[in-house]
Amino acid sequence: VFGGSTAPFSGAVSDVRIFDPTSGTWTTSTPMPTARGGATAQVIGTKIYVAGGMGGDGSSVATLEIFDPASGTWTAGASLGTRRDNPASAVSAGKLYVFGGRIRNADGSVVENTLSSVEMYDPSSNTWVARAPMPTGRRTMVVGTLNGKFQVIGGERKSDGSAFSANQEYDPATDAWRPLKPMPTPRHGAVVATINGVVYVVGGATDAAAGTAVNVNEAFSFGN
């Protein structure tokens, strides 16, 4: 578990916590070089890539930092082409894909609330390249992984403050998108897991107002 924020748009921390399900215990590890909340992280090989997020002053960052759990050390990667907080991400063929997010300034002004841009990181060359943008710009969405493709689901937020129900699939082999059946309960800030050919989207909130958190668990699959 990397970073986080202790207050809305402020209080970013650099803490790293490791949970061992065998013993049911938590330990601490080397803090991130850059304190941030709303980042995204994925595993490639034996390392963890932590991209984007929101710094302690409330501004979106383009930072990429790479953690080696074996040694507990961090290295810097190339910065994202577009700074962003609360993006989604996934991995295919050893490359990191980062979807959407938001661009916010330290003074509270927002450059872009719902980014549609997509970037791909290649660890072998330490470079980012732009890929086909999402049909629906969003942040705080989740990503399933079925059939070698990415199902980008939910997110925030529409002009009325409500969450998206969109389920749009990205094919990294062809750099193309297609629409899929929307999520029954529009949500943002959910958690996701892909298990045995099924994408489970759990919890989240239905709009930006306080008190809209839900305990919904909905599953998506292509069937037999």
SS3 122: strand
- Cα–Cα distance for residue pair 22/86, rounded to 1 Å: 30
Asked if the bond preceding 157 is cis, omega within 30° of 0, the reply is yes
**pLDDT per position as a tens digit, 161-212:** 899 999 999 999 999 999 999 999 999 999 999 999 999 999 999 987 667 8
Between the alpha carbon of residue 1 and those of residues 5, 29, 31, 46, 119, the distances in Å are 12, 10, 11, 16, 23
SS3 73: strand
User: How confident is the model at residue 8, as a pLDDT?
Assistant: 87
52 and 85 Cβ atoms separated by less than 8 Å: yes
User: How confident is the model at residue 107, as a pLDDT?
Assistant: 95
Question: Does 224 score more than 60 pLDDT?
Answer: no
SS3 146: strand
DSSP string, 94-107: TEEEEE--BEE-TT
- Cα–Cα distance for residue pair 46/68, rounded to 1 Å: 7
Q: Which residue has the tokens 């403050």?
A: 161
Mean pLDDT for 8-13 is 92
User: How confident is the model at residue 210, as a pLDDT?
Assistant: 62
- Give this prediction's pTM: 0.96
- Of 164, 148, 48, nearest to 116 by C-alpha is 164
Summary mean pLDDT of the chain: 96
In the chain, what is the greatest distance between 2 CA atoms, to the nearest angstrom?
51
Question: Taken in order 173, 176, 179, 185, is the CA torsion positive or negative?
Answer: positive
